[in-house]
Amino acid sequence: MSLHQLLSELATPAVLLDKRRLQANCERMTARAREANVQLRPHLKTAKCAEVAALATAGQPGGVTVSTLAELQYFFDAGYSDLTYAVGIVPGKMGAIEKLMEQGARIRVVLDSVEAVEALAERPVHQNVAVSVPVLIEIDCGGHRAGVSPQSEQLLAIAERIVAAPGLVLDGVLTHAGHAYHANDMASRTAIAIAERDAAVLAAQRLRAAGHDCPTVSIGSTPTALTDIPLDGVTEIRPGVYVFFDLAQAALGVCDIDDIAVSVLATVIGHHREAGHLLIDAGALALSKDVSASEFHEHVGYGLVCDLDGLPLPGMYVADAHQEHGFVKNVNGMPDFERFPVGTRLRVLPNHACMTVAPYDAYHVIDGQSLQKWSKATGW
Amino acid sequence: MSLHQLLSELATPAVLLDKRRLQANCERMTARAREANVQLRPHLKTAKCAEVAALATAGQPGGVTVSTLAELQYFFDAGYSDLTYAVGIVPGKMGAIEKLMEQGARIRVVLDSVEAVEALAERPVHQNVAVSVPVLIEIDCGGHRAGVSPQSEQLLAIAERIVAAPGLVLDGVLTHAGHAYHANDMASRTAIAIAERDAAVLAAQRLRAAGHDCPTVSIGSTPTALTDIPLDGVTEIRPGVYVFFDLAQAALGVCDIDDIAVSVLATVIGHHREAGHLLIDAGALALSKDVSASEFHEHVGYGLVCDLDGLPLPGMYVADAHQEHGFVKNVNGMPDFERFPVGTRLRVLPNHACMTVAPYDAYHVIDGQSLQKWSKATGW
């Protein structure tokens, strides 16, 4: 059966994954990590998929990063035992983490306050966990989401409290330049990448000067990782969305449109000639309501529309989205209704791949002319 | 164990469902349908849950409405055999529908063009389906999403083509006043409700005048259903979000904040004192990126923040959301960091309940002082 026939028989909406692009994206980041002499610890919150993890970690002994307990369990079950849970830890999540540690996982946790260390330290240490929990101190490198300033007194106070706590061990520092998602020229992106690196390295130097071990100096976001600055003093990078890329990354100039490896397969379910749109069965749940790329581009809406081969259809985008209805408009005028009869299959490139693929339980993977199905984690 | 203790042991993020509010919301709509002398066919795309369906259909033999094949299968398995699939039908979805029909389901499908009828009629009629597929013609009552004008020639042409097609039977008309979601005063909401009713009734009259049966005259959205206009000529209403309500419905004046039955349970995972926010572990995936209520209210963001009892905390809202991080700010100044230490549990009222609850696989149902778990459908 031809690929077109295979794609025509899938239930829609569905997420398609172009394996060739996925591999190229993974190789690009692997090469960057090697060239910068750092480990690559890919953030798998994007793909939530073991087969993607295998490509992303090929030749990389640097472990993986996750952002939910469900991902921790899923990737541990898939054979990944070196995991960083890169969202601020609270005592209520330690039961699940220690359960995996008992089974052999090494899980780094992240926090950014003395208070958070106290909360962990006050809970009864799990009797069966022979090894201490490695803790990374989160550093704010300018994104102002979480973390302490690398110059702060707090940094040293947190380190001291970790070292004093039974069952915890200081492993290093971690930062994430999330604000790089709003930098759409190379100069500002490079400036943020330098700030990210320097914040983590400075924090590590201050910890070491105070007598602490600091084996891990972890930074990373896709836009900052894909600059060419030297990463001296950094031990690992944790980019995530690069495995798939998306319209938001393309809008930043981090990738090209034809690097985007995921798309949502949809079916034309109606025409509204007066209103000037095609309806597709990929709506706000199938695409997400993320409109990140609109920060820099008009007429991206909820995604750019491609034909079944994945070639962008000039001017066509998802202008509006209800729960299960997407409204496809043409920026140049009326859509060509005759060209896209009811039943036509289209593909939509997502604004933000992490948001779009999250609710799906599988990828339909295009590998040459064949189609495979890779399952993935969902939920929390 | 007290309810507070039970809630403190749930993994977060999680969706809580207040059973008393859910029941009151269901009773309100049931009473409205009874008073207007129409059947209630609740749209279960919101809840995707059999236990909610049981409350929503109590004393109502009017069947249910769904918007995905996954919901069709789920509710058929849960004992609902009278189902309307209220998204434009395409041939590719008929295999799954006929499979359920073979097992005893009666499934109405919806379309709005001669072309769509042709597409259905051209496919080989499934040999094992003894009964014809009932078809509703979608009417545009002013929302301009889908449907034909009730005055149009197309309406009659579609009906004629359905009647002529083997395996299809004309069942009536269906419309949805989605534009009522943007009407935030009673006068404009009532005007839309009247237009919705009149469009469906006019279309039915024209079909009957042309000699067609038109047993079903189906209208419905939560905002229009909860007006007090007479519904003469209408046979059923299909509201959905009323079972839970949300901030968007409250912004329209359709419900009060304390009618909202769902909230997202979250944990405080950090403080960023300089930036002036608490971080919670309910971010863009846990809350969705829907910001509907912002059309009418400032400082709603991705949701309003409540304490563990579900009481709104004045001024506190989710100002920003990353994948697994929510940023809680206080519109009146700094959040009271001492009051909400790391580990504190909060509840977030959603903008748009349908979007927020979709990715979760269960509700944690607060019933007095006890907690139950109701599973639900997800995906497509």
The residue of chain A with its CA nearest to that of B96 is A11
- Smallest Cα distance from B293 to chain A, Å: 14
Taking CA A178 as the corner, what is the angle to CA A254 and CA A75, rounded to the nearest 5 degrees?
90
Indicate yes or no: CB of A112 within 8 angstroms of CB of B270: yes
Q: Give the pLDDT of residue B122.
A: 85
Residue of B14, B84, B36, B18 lying closest to B243 (CA atoms): B18
Indicate yes or no: CB of B269 within 8 angstroms of CB of A90: yes
Q: What whole-number distance in Å separates Cα of residue B317 and Cα of residue A291?
A: 21
Task: From residue A115, give the alpha-carbon distance in Å to each of A88, A123, B377.
Answer: 12, 13, 39
Q: What whole-number distance in Å separates Cα of residue B158 and Cα of residue B165?
A: 11
The residue of chain B with its CA nearest to that of A341 is B115
**E strand or H helix that includes residue B79:** none
Taking CA A233 as the corner, what is the angle to CA A227 and CA A237, rounded to the nearest 5 degrees?
50
The full length of chain B comes to 380
Residue of B365, B364, B363, B359 lying closest to B379 (CA atoms): B359
Backbone φ, ψ for residue A266 (5° rounding): -135, 165
Nearest CB to B90; choose among A112, A269, A358 = A269
Q: What whole-number distance in Å separates Cα of residue A346 and Cα of residue A312?
A: 10
Strands B362-367 and B14-18: parallel
SS3 A225: helix
Output the six-digit token pair for A261.
């490896």
Task: Tell me which residue has tokens 């105070």.
Answer: A210
Q: Give the pLDDT of residue A122.
A: 85
Indicate yes or no: CB of A323 within 8 angstroms of CB of B112: no
Confirm if B97 and B132 have CB atoms less than 8 A apart. no
pLDDT (tens digit, 9 = 90+) per residue, A85-104?
999 999 999 999 999 999 99
**Contact residues for A375 (Cβ-Cβ < 8 A; gap 6+):** A49, A361, A362
Task: Tell me which residue has tokens 């780094």.
Answer: A108
Got the DSSP string for B10-65? S-SSEEEEEHHHHHHHHHHHHHHHHHHT-EE--BTTTT--HHHHHHHTTT--S-EE
The residue of chain B with its CA nearest to that of A112 is B270
Lowest-confidence pick of A15-29, A119-133, A259-273, B232-246 = A119-133
Q: Show residues of chain A in contact with B149, CB under 8 Å.
A: 274
**E strand or H helix that includes residue A249:** helix A247-252
Q: Which residues of chain B have pLDDT under 70?
A: 125-130
**Contact residues for B283 (Cβ-Cβ < 8 A; gap 6+):** B321, B322, B323, B324, B325, B326
The strand order across the sheet containing B64-66 reads: B39-40, B236-237, B216-219, B168-175, B133-139, B106-111, B82-88, B64-66
- Mean pLDDT along residues A274-295: 96
Bond before B335 cis per omega within 30 degrees: no
Q: Show residues of chain A in contact with B355, CB under 8 Å.
A: 284-285, 289, 323
**E strand or H helix that includes residue B111:** strand B106-111
Q: What whole-number distance in Å separates Cα of residue A304 and Cα of residue A318?
A: 6
Indicate yes or no: CB of B88 within 8 angstroms of CB of A116: no
Handedness of CA B224, B228, B229, B231 (dihedral sign): positive
Residue A115 pLDDT exceeds 70: yes
Output the six-digit token pair for B292.
């509907």
SS3 B346: strand
Residue of B280, B244, B242, B303 lying closest to A145 (CA atoms): B280
Backbone φ, ψ for residue B301 (5° rounding): 55, -130
Q: What whole-number distance in Å separates Cα of residue B299 and Cα of residue B314?
A: 11
pLDDT (tens digit, 9 = 90+) per residue, A220-268?
999 999 999 999 999 999 999 999 999 999 999 999 999 999 999 999 9
Report how many Cβ contacts below 8 Å link chain A to chain B: 172
Q: What whole-number distance in Å separates Cα of residue B33 and Cα of residue B326?
A: 39
Confirm if A300 and A293 have CB atoms less than 8 A apart. yes
Nearest CB to A87; choose among B111, B138, B325 = B325
Indicate yes or no: CB of B96 within 8 angstroms of CB of A11: yes
User: How far, rounded to the nearest angstrom, does the alpha carbon of residue A79 sit from its chain's CA centroid?
Assistant: 20
Residue of A23, A28, A287, A108 lying closest to B288 (CA atoms): A287
Q: Give the pLDDT of residue B290.
A: 96
**Homologous superfamily (CATH) for A20-244:** Alanine racemase (3.20.20.10)
The residue of chain B with its CA nearest to that of A355 is B285
Indicate yes or no: CB of B342 within 8 angstroms of CB of A270: no
Q: What whole-number distance in Å separates Cα of residue A280 and Cα of residue A288?
A: 14
Indicate yes or no: CB of A324 within 8 angstroms of CB of B92: no
Got the DSSP string for A182-199? G--SHHHHHHHHHHHHHH
Nearest CB to A271; choose among B45, B113, B272 = B113
Q: Show residues of chain A in contact with B112, CB under 8 Å.
A: 270
SS3 A219: strand
Strands B133-139 and B168-175: parallel
Task: From residue B66, give the alpha-carbon distance in Å to each of A122, A313, B53.
Answer: 49, 31, 11
pLDDT (tens digit, 9 = 90+) per residue, A43-70?
999 999 999 999 999 977 779 999 999 9
Q: What whole-number distance in Å separates Cα of residue B154 and Cα of residue B290?
A: 35
Task: Classify residue B122 as exposed, middle or buried by CB count within 10 Å of its CB (0-12, 13-18, 19+).
Answer: exposed
Nearest CB to A378; choose among B87, B89, B359 = B359
- Residue B170: CB atoms within 10 A of its CB come to 24
Indicate yes or no: CB of A269 within 8 angstroms of CB of B358: no
Indicate yes or no: CB of B270 within 8 angstroms of CB of A11: no
Q: What whole-number distance in Å separates Cα of residue B103 and Cα of residue A40?
A: 52
Task: Tell me which residue has tokens 């599973």.
Answer: B375
Q: Show residues of chain B in contact with A44, CB under 8 Å.
A: none
Site from B285, B302, B337, B346 to mutate, A interface, most A CB atoms within 10 angstroms: B285
Handedness of CA B180, B185, B190, B195 (dihedral sign): negative
- Smallest Cα distance from B271 to chain A, Å: 7
Residue of B294, B100, B87, B287 lying closest to B182 (CA atoms): B294
Structure confidence at residue A127 as a pLDDT band (50, 70, 90)? low
How is chain B split into domains, by residue range? Answer: 3-15+255-372, 81-239
Nearest CB to A342; choose among B11, B119, B286 = B119
Q: Show residues of chain A in contact with B244, CB under 8 Å.
A: none
Q: Show residues of chain B in contact with A93, CB under 8 Å.
A: 11
Q: Give the pLDDT of residue A125.
A: 66
Q: What whole-number distance in Å separates Cα of residue B343 and Cα of residue B225?
A: 41
Q: What whole-number distance in Å separates Cα of residue B146 and Cα of residue A278?
A: 9
Yes or no: domain B3-15+255-372 corresponds to CATH 3.20.20.70: no
Residue of A19, A16, A22 lying closest to A306 (CA atoms): A16
CATH topology of domain B81-239: TIM Barrel (3.20.20)
pLDDT (tens digit, 9 = 90+) per residue, A334-376?
999 999 999 999 999 999 999 999 999 999 999 999 999 999 9
Q: What whole-number distance in Å separates Cα of residue A25 and Cα of residue A28?
A: 5
Q: What whole-number distance in Å separates Cα of residue B84 and Cα of residue B77?
A: 15
Handedness of CA B46, B49, B55, B56 (dihedral sign): positive
SS3 B290: coil
- Smallest Cα distance from A368 to chain B, Å: 24
- Smallest Cα distance from B33 to chain A, Å: 24
Distance in angstroms between the alpha carbons of the first and the last residue of chain B: 37
Biggest CA-to-CA distance, chain A:
72
Q: What whole-number distance in Å separates Cα of residue A151 and Cα of residue B50?
A: 54
Nearest CB to B285; choose among A327, A355, A361 = A355
Check residue A315 and give left, alpha or beta (phi > 0: left; psi -120 to 50: alpha).
left
Q: Give the pLDDT of residue A317.
A: 98
- Smallest Cα distance from B89 to chain A, Å: 6
Indicate yes or no: CB of A341 within 8 angstroms of CB of B119: yes
Q: Is the interface score ipTM higher than 0.85?
A: yes
Structure confidence at residue A149 as a pLDDT band (50, 70, 90)? very high
Q: Give the pLDDT of residue A123.
A: 79
Indicate yes or no: CB of A289 within 8 angstroms of CB of B289: yes
Q: Give the pLDDT of residue B228.
A: 96
Tell me, yes or no, if the two domains A3-15+255-375 and A20-244 fold the same way.
no
Q: What whole-number distance in Å separates Cα of residue B293 and Cα of residue B248?
A: 4
**Homologous superfamily (CATH) for A3-15+255-375:** D-serine dehydratase-like domain (2.40.37.20)
